[in-house]
Amino acid sequence: MASSGDTNTVMKYVANGASDFLLKPVRIEELSNIWQHIFRKQMQDHKNNNMVGNLEKPGHPPSILAMARATPATTRSTATEALLAPLENEVRDDMVNYNGEITDIRDLRKSRLTWTTQLHRQFIAAVNHLGEDKAVPKKILGIMKVKHLTREQVASHLQVHIKYRMQLKKSIPTTSKHGATLSSTALDKTQDHPSRSQYFNQDGCMEIMDYSLPRDDLSSGSECMLEEQNDYSSEGFQDFRWDSDKQEYGPCFWNF
């Protein structure tokens, strides 16, 4: 970022490793985009490194995100704040394993935990694995193996999940006699459809054999500020299998 855009200056910066060049003053959108590009690049690089088992080189420069985060909140410019905001709920590579599973929720909780689609899928997978009768918070937690996720949080999520499940049982199987003519007033508590919710009305899967097709998240027609969709598109059915080597449950995917 420089105030002069003459060729010499640009060359100098590029020689020093700049990957782009912004002339002051900078519009916030420019920065925001740049930020995301760099972030994604790092993500990519990091993943590549992981593949080769070449993680954390000694001389590896600190991530930009880390640097921004390291800035005391009180000192952060509004620009930095604006840049940080969109990433708060972003799933970073160090929170995820090679399967795209979340392994740490530290940054998924702002004031309260956000159950992302992926985290929820893991939850569902664990519940399905156990069977709805044996799926209690502690066991679910044990299978999910997500750092910093508490039993209470799982219990809470389970409570809502079960509530939704009950709604389903009432609405779905009632295919037979619907003498009522469609229009049940909205005020009726026993509604025909469970209210639209971010996940619970998407994964009716409590049954172990649920091969419901990959559900897309058109949860809310809300903004998806980033161009690409989640890359967790490891569609298919996820379950857990016992890994006798590691002596623990590991993810198992059924693709189709």
Helix 151-171 to helix 117-130 angle, to the nearest 10 degrees?
Answer: 80
- Asked whether 104 and 147 are in contact (CB, 8 A), the reply is yes
User: Please, which residue, 37 or 169, has the CB nearer to DNA?
Assistant: 169
Q: Pick from 159, 184, 212, 233: which binds DNA (CB under 7 A)? A: 159
Amino acid at 67: M
**What residue has token string 């956000």?**
114
153 binds DNA, rule: CB under 7 A: yes
Q: Is 157 in the site for DNA (CB under 7 A)?
A: yes
Give the C-alpha distances (Å, rounded to integers) separating 226 from 86, 93, 169, 188, 233. 10, 16, 36, 39, 15
Phi and psi based region of residue 253 (left: phi greater than 0; alpha: psi -120 to 50; beta: remaining): beta
Q: Which is nearer to DNA, 43 or 128 (CB)?
A: 128
Closer of 92 and 120 to DNA (Cβ): 120
- In the structure encoding, which two tokens stand for residue 236, read together? 């298919």
Q: Which is nearer to DNA, 43 or 141 (CB)?
A: 141
Should residue 156 be labelled a site residue for DNA when binding is judged by CB under 7 A? Answer: yes
Binding mask 120-139 for DNA (x = CB under 7 A): ----------------xxxx
**What's the distance, CA 30 to chain centroid?**
25
User: Using CB under 7 A, which residues numbered 176 to 235 contact DNA?
Assistant: 195, 197-200
171 is a site residue for DNA (CB under 7 A):
no
The site for DNA (CB under 7 A) is made up of: 109, 111-115, 136-139, 151-153, 155-160, 162, 195, 197-200
